[in-house]
Amino acid sequence: MAEHHPDSPGGPDGTEHVPTLLVKIFGKDRPGLTAGLFQTLASYAVDVVDLEQVVTRGRITLCALVTSPARGAGTEGELRATVHSWAESVGLQAEIISGIGDNPARGTGRSHVTVLGNPLTADVTAAIAARITGAGGNIDRIYRLAKYPVTAVEFDVSGVPTEELRTELAMEAAARAVDVAVVASGLQRRAPRLVVMDVDSTLIQDEVIELFAAHAGCEEEVAAVTAAAMRGELDFERSLHARVKLLAGLDESVVDKVRAEVRLTPGARTLIRTLKRLGCQVGVVSGGFTQVTDALRERLGLDFAAANALEIVDGKLTGRVTGEIVDRAGKARLLRRFAAEAGVPLSRTVAIGDGANDLDMLNAAGLGVAFNAKPLVREAAHTAVTVPFLDTVLYLLGITREEVEAADAQG
């Protein structure tokens, strides 16, 4: 027998030119159907070339691609008659289609398209599928990743470069209330090694400076500086200094109060717990303050945390920050530093953030996820999530809700 290797051209198993039969059965699922079909086929000494099965709301669809009956094991006509009679006996419909060889190899340019809908409408599904086809892509496989907290469906697409497909689908996502993430297919996708998150309005629902400002009675002044920064009148560093200055004289005891006030984003714990189970390291970088991020690091078992440090002298905030400033460039620098410390290439990192401050970090990472971000950030990032659940990032990595829940049950 000739030796075949998966890398050799023309197929590894010698089935590329042999007659094959596609056997499809459909009907009410019950135990033993797959065994029953293959026991029926076994008497014709056929080999299995491909096999796929799905069960949707109690209905099974099973497609088996098998070689034609072996010499001396019966004819194709006899096989057809036997399968149909078996199917009838168990209340199923069967269809058998003759042909040659295996499925054609999937095209190059393979991507995973994850669609998050809340709900996922037929209209949106039609639009996305049409865009994929319009871009020259072929949908090879579709499956559901999750039904909670949103409906997440994944399309495996080939035939169009990932970047091109991403651009095409981003237009569709922008026009409709749906999140569409396009990532290149490959081994790396399901196993990120380092995930780095922004804190304010990403890991937590709050803006930490505003929590401090509320205790100092200067919310309005702080908000005015924030607004000026967002209008581009102040850069981040100047706005940070201007806002922290307003906190001067605040008692140190406020730090504990603010720590207690911080509200995690829904799904944050699930995301972190699941990533840790996958052997992934998790860190945070924040334009906020170490007084809060260190507490989060402790509370959530994070591997890395970096932020600006509020200076405290004689039990009072001085209105200054100390140490290295964490700004837009700083966040990207910290992502690189954490990756180096973790021994992880940048291609195996994921960054998540919502602000303009996060853009350099999002673009430096292997996958940058804009999380409930401003339109500017959403457009510039690789991918965007607009539903307010942090654990939906897992779906972008191809991890299913079922896998998350099974891991939780074991843990």
User: 């966040």: which residue's tokens?
Assistant: 331
Between vectors from CA 118 to CA 180 and to CA 29, what angle results, nearest 5°?
Answer: 95
Q: Dihedral sign, CA of 290, 293, 295, 298?
A: negative
Contact flags string 154-193 toward Mg ion, x per CB under 5 A: ----------------------------------------
* Smallest separation (angstroms) from Mg ion to the CB of 248: 24
Between vectors from CA 256 to CA 251 and to CA 259, what angle results, nearest 5°?
Answer: 130
DSSP output for 146-169: E-SSSEEEEEEEESS-HHHHHHHH
The strand ranges marked E within 85-193 are 93-100, 111-117, 138-146, 151-158, 179-184
Between 111 and 226, name the residue whose CB sits nearer to Mg ion: 226
Cis ω on the peptide bond leading into residue 192 (within 30° of 0)?
Answer: no
Between 112 and 243, name the residue whose CB sits nearer to Mg ion: 243
Between 188 and 205, name the residue whose CB sits nearer to Mg ion: 205
Q: Work out the widest C-alpha separation in the chain, in whole angstroms.
A: 94
* Smallest separation (angstroms) from Mg ion to the CB of 202: 5
Region of 28-36, 45-53, 111-119, 354-362 interacting with Mg ion (CB under 5 A): 354-362
355 near Mg ion, judged by CB under 5 A: yes
Are the C-beta atoms of 210 and 223 separated by less than 8 Å?
yes
Residue 118 and residue 277: Cα distance in Å, rounded?
A: 27
* Smallest separation (angstroms) from Mg ion to the CB of 238: 18
Region of 47-55, 85-93, 355-363, 364-372 interacting with Mg ion (CB under 5 A): 355-363
* Smallest separation (angstroms) from Mg ion to the CB of 353: 6
* Smallest separation (angstroms) from Mg ion to the CB of 382: 17
Number of residues that bind Mg ion (CB under 5 A): 5
Region of 169-177, 180-188, 200-208, 326-334 interacting with Mg ion (CB under 5 A): 200-208
Between 200 and 360, name the residue whose CB sits nearer to Mg ion: 200
Region of 76-84, 233-241, 289-297, 351-359 interacting with Mg ion (CB under 5 A): 351-359
Q: In what order do the strands lie in the sheet with 138-146?
A: 138-146, 151-158, 111-117, 179-184
Between 113 and 258, name the residue whose CB sits nearer to Mg ion: 258
DSSP letter, residue 223: H
Between 201 and 270, name the residue whose CB sits nearer to Mg ion: 201
Give the C-alpha distances (Å, rounded to integers) separating 305 from 256, 289, 322, 336.
18, 10, 16, 13
354 near Mg ion, judged by CB under 5 A: yes
The strand ranges marked E within 236-376 are 281-289, 304-313, 316-322, 349-353, 367-371
**Binding residue for Mg ion (CB under 5 A) from 179, 200, 327, 391?**
200
201 near Mg ion, judged by CB under 5 A: yes
- Residues 211, 217, 222, 223: what is their CA dihedral angle, to the nearest 10 degrees? 80
Site for Mg ion in 61-80 (CB under 5 A): none
Active-site residue, selected from the candidate residues 29, 179, 198, 391: 198
* Smallest separation (angstroms) from Mg ion to the CB of 231: 17
Give the C-alpha distances (Å, rounded to integers) separating 11 from 15, 99, 213.
7, 16, 66
Between 83 and 326, name the residue whose CB sits nearer to Mg ion: 326
* Smallest separation (angstroms) from Mg ion to the CB of 50: 47
Residue 142 and residue 61: Cα distance in Å, rounded?
A: 14
* Smallest separation (angstroms) from Mg ion to the CB of 149: 21
Question: 198 an active-site residue?
Answer: yes
CA 72, distance to chain mean position in Å, is 51
237 near Mg ion, judged by CB under 5 A: no
Between 172 and 358, name the residue whose CB sits nearer to Mg ion: 358
Region of 167-175, 319-327, 334-342, 349-357 interacting with Mg ion (CB under 5 A): 349-357
Active-site residue, selected from the candidate residues 13, 102, 179, 200: 200
DSSP output for 336-367: HHHHHHHT--GGGEEEEE-SGGGHHHHHHSSE
Region of 235-243, 293-301, 308-316, 348-356 interacting with Mg ion (CB under 5 A): 348-356
Are the C-beta atoms of 38 and 26 separated by less than 8 Å?
no
User: Which residues make up the interface to Mg ion (CB under 5 A)?
Assistant: 198, 200-201, 354-355
Active site (catalytic) residues: 198, 200
